[in-house]
Amino acid sequence: MPMRTFALLLAAAMVVLTTGCATQKREATKVGQVGINTAEERAIVDSLETAKYYEYNTPKTGVVLRSNPPGALVEWLNNDGLWVTVGTTPTLQIAIEATGRPELFRVSLGGYLPEIRWVAATPASESVTVEFNLERELKQDRFVLGDRR
């Protein structure tokens, strides 16, 4: 093969290797960005945006929790399954979703059996008041005797 043909082939190969395929486009990267935005990353961003939209655009209403006797501890079960202290009865208005989705509240006071109740509100409700009637615990020195068979 003559030297001139070899040089032309070598030049053509260099042009093809340096220009790449016309269908392969590379997106411009920003400073600090590594790689490209994968489908998994886009799904995480979409999930966070949906949660943010839901949090700020969901209708809310107030709920007031009362107990007999007053002064009981009020706790709310959060999405992580943990009881979060809200205050004591009677409470100020607590904001809950007005979508019909129930929220779980627990009211407890020393010497009384705790009471757990679902509380829900609809978009039409302006405020909800829930009354908890706590029952006394049995004293430690008293026992309930049942029928023995």
How is the chain split into domains, by residue range?
Answer: 50-133
pLDDT score, position 125: 79
pLDDT score, position 96: 83
Taking domain 50-133, whether its CATH number is 2.60.40 is answered by yes
Alpha helix stretches (DSSP H) within 20-119: 39-57
Please state the pTM of the whole predicted model.
0.57
pLDDT score, position 72: 92
Element (H, E) at 6: helix 3-19
Residue 120 burial (10 A CB sphere; 0-12, 13-18, 19+): middle
Q: What is the pLDDT along the chain (149 residues), one digit of tens a residue?
A: 577 777 777 777 666 666 655 555 666 666 666 666 677 888 888 888 888 887 788 888 888 999 989 999 999 998 888 999 999 988 888 888 888 888 899 999 988 999 999 998 888 878 888 899 999 887 666 666 666 55
pLDDT score, position 143: 61
Nearest to 90 by CA among 113, 65, 120: 65
pLDDT score, position 148: 56
